[in-house]
Structures are given as C-alpha cells and as structure tokens.
Structure 1
Amino acid sequence: MIKRNLLVMGLAVLLSACGFQLRGTGTTELAIKELDLSARDAYGPTVTQMRQVLESSGVKLYSGAPYKLVLTGEQESQRILSYAGAGRTGEYQLSTVLSYDINGQGNLPLMSDKLEVQKVFIHDGNNLVGSDQEANDARKDIRRELVQRMMLRLQQLTPTQLDQLQQTAEARARAEAAALEAAQKAEAQTPRQSPVELPRQ
C-alpha cells in the first residue's frame, strides 16, 4: 500500500516537472496583465463569471486598457437527441456559441473567433421541475466550460503575437485610410457634367 502511494506521488511529481497539469488544477497565468472586458449583455452571467476568473488570475480590468476582450454574442440552441417512454422522456442537447473579438490599441480589431460547448441532459415529461433543473445545470456547466476555454485562448496569446497582430492591424488601417483618401481625391478631380439643356419648343 505504501509502495503504491509512493509510486503515485512519484508519478505526480514527474508529470508536474514535465509541465503537465490536471484540468482545473493548473495555473491560469496570462501574458496579458491588463484588459478591458465588455459584452453585449454587460451584466450577464457569462461576462460576470469571466470577470471573476480574470481578476482571480491577476489580470487588472479597467476601461482604456491596451487590449480589449469583447464578448459580442452568445447564442443558445436546443435539439432533441432521442425519445423514450412514448415521447415523454428524452435526451436533449444544449449548445451555446460564444463569439468574441480582441481589440488592440486605438481599438483596432486584432482577432475575432468563437467557442462552442455542448451538453446533453434528460427531459422527463412527468417531472418538469426536475427537467428544468437539469437544463439549468447544463447551462451552468456550459458557461463554466466556455469561460475555461476562453482563458485557455487568452493563455496562448504571447506579447510577441499581440505586437504582431497590432502591427498588422495598424498597417491595414493605414492602407484603408490611404485607399479612401485616393478615392476621394479621384472623385474630386473628376469633372462634373453640366446639366443638359433641352431645346425650347
């Protein structure tokens, strides 16, 4: 028994030394230390939970931070997977898609992406209260996983990557501004046709 415990402890130490971490137990250290967080639903449960996790990870959240995470949309859908017991009991699948943008300095768009999480729950036509609770629990699990995945996405962003994205966004903005200016100049230099005078009868 002692040998087995020592073996398990030894494996745990070895794995942690290799950088392996169990899901939900590892550090959530981010390269981004300052962030502006906003959402279409400013007081919704997802952005509230996201704010709590970011702050607990040492990220300073304030308006005007160099980078901005915008939760642009959260769409939920539900479909029936299977029926049982004359259609009264069945499996339902809940899906939530979370769309987000990351903006840089000058509010320039750096990247845009989305996350999707699905959960299955049992709906019992004879126990509507219990079924509603099952659906609510599934929504909570989905929200928690969306926040975890969002944190993983943010963890993968290094200062170098963010600088490159910022430079690309600035170059694109300059090119668009130059193209707009050239179009305006070309329009201004184009001679305007004088109205055609109709011969008098």
Structure 2
Amino acid sequence: MKRNLLVIGLATVLSACGFQLRGTGDTQFAIKEINLTARNSYGETFKQLRDLLQSSQVKVSTAAPYTLDLANEQESQRTASYTTNTRSAETQLTSTLDYQIKSRDGLLLLQDQVEVQKVYVQDGNNLIGSDEEAAQLRGEIRRDLVQQMAMRLQLINPERLAELETTARAKAKAEADVREAAAKARAEQPQQSPIQLPISQ
C-alpha cells in the first residue's frame, strides 16, 4: 500500500513539473507554423518529424515565416568491443542530424546538431539475427533523432525567433557595410601609372 502511494505521489509530482514519458501525451510547441525542408524530403526522418509537428497542431507550410532545414543526416558505425572468442563484437551505431533555422528570405538564424548512439552485438554465428537487430536499432535511432528535434523546437518560441532574426540582420548589415567600405577605399585609391620603358633605337 505504501509503495503504491509512493508511486502515485511521484507520478503526480512529475506531472506537475511538466514531465512526460516519451511517446505519451501531446507534444506542445510555442511555434504554431513552420516550413520544413530537408536534403532528403522523402526520407523517414523528414516524414516522421513532419507528422509529429502536424499531429501537435503545428502547421507545416511553405508560407511560414521561418524554415527548419534538416541540412545533413549521417550514420556511422564502429566496433566498440570484442568478446573472448572474437566471433562476436559490440557495434556502435551513431546518427547525427545537422539542422538550421532560417528566415523567410533564407537568412541563417540558428544551426546545431542532434546525435544518437546505440550499441548492439554483432554475432558471427547468427548474422541474420544481428542484421535484424541492427535494422531495428536504426529505426529506434531515427525515432530518437526526431524526439530530440522536437525537444529542441519546444525550447523556441516566436519571440526568440524574432530576436535571432534581428541579431542576424544586424550582423549581416555590419558585414555588408565593411565590404562596401573596403570596396570604396579600393576605388578611391589612386592607380599607379604603368612604367614606360625607354625604347631603344
């Protein structure tokens, strides 16, 4: 009885803090509209993130004021360790997803990366089973990437995006002013006349 009360109490405290288990409840976003692009717009990561946003009442539209671009997704694997008979080994799978948030006219506001790592046993005596486990693990990794992207987006609101855009535009203008001043200085610099060599008769 005491144990049940403790579990119920803990669950109540976590719920009050806004904690939710992965895959339960609704994912809430302050952003209500965003454009979503990717190098591979037919890939599973793109489709899963788009579906998650739409199911969370976020409108995915090319007319949105900001764009989330899944710029680059890469996967790598390496041997993490060997067993004593050297026929089995732990293999580490790593997936990274580079993403950018841009303004409507393509100005870069923010760029970052999410990463997921998982390990499975590569059994030399059961290659089919190992391959199936690896395929299942890749699916889990992709879902984790999407969850991480969702968590990153939950930390961003329209006010934050507007602030990032103001900063990015000020930086872009300052850089443009420097280039313009340098070009003007070069144009105003007197050009040296070419040296004329005497013509020998």
TM-score by length of 2: 0.90
- Shift >4 Å, 4+ stretches: 3-11
Aligned length: 200
Alpha-carbon RMSD: 1.9
User: Residue 106 of structure 1 aligns to a residue in which SS?
Assistant: coil
1:192 corresponds to which residue?
191
Tell me the CA shift for residue 5 of structure 1.
Answer: 5.2
The one-letter code matched in structure 2 to 1:151 is A
1:160 corresponds to which residue?
159
1:58 corresponds to which residue?
57
Return the alpha-carbon distance in structure 1 between the equivalents of residues 28 and 86 of structure 2.
48
* In the alignment, structure 1 residue 136 sits paired with structure 2 residue 132: no
Gaps of 5+ in 2: none
The one-letter code matched in structure 1 to 2:100 is D
1:98 corresponds to which residue?
97
Return the alpha-carbon distance in structure 1 between the equivalents of residues 68 and 21 of structure 2.
27
Return the alpha-carbon distance in structure 2 between the equivalents of residues 26 and 182 of structure 1.
55
Tell me the CA shift for residue 178 of structure 1.
Answer: 1.3
Tell me the CA shift for residue 194 of structure 1.
Answer: 2.3
User: Residue 90 of structure 1 aligns to a residue in which SS?
Assistant: strand
Tell me the CA shift for residue 85 of structure 1.
Answer: 5.5
32-41 vs 77-86, greater mean Cα deviation: 77-86
Gaps of 5+ in 1: none
Return the alpha-carbon distance in structure 1 between the equivalents of residues 124 and 9 of structure 2.
50
Return the alpha-carbon distance in structure 2 between the equivalents of residues 185 and 20 of structure 1.
57
The one-letter code matched in structure 2 to 1:192 is Q
TM-score by length of 1: 0.90
The one-letter code matched in structure 2 to 1:91 is E
Tell me the CA shift for residue 10 of structure 1.
Answer: 5.2
The one-letter code matched in structure 1 to 2:36 is L
Tell me the CA shift for residue 92 of structure 1.
Answer: 0.5
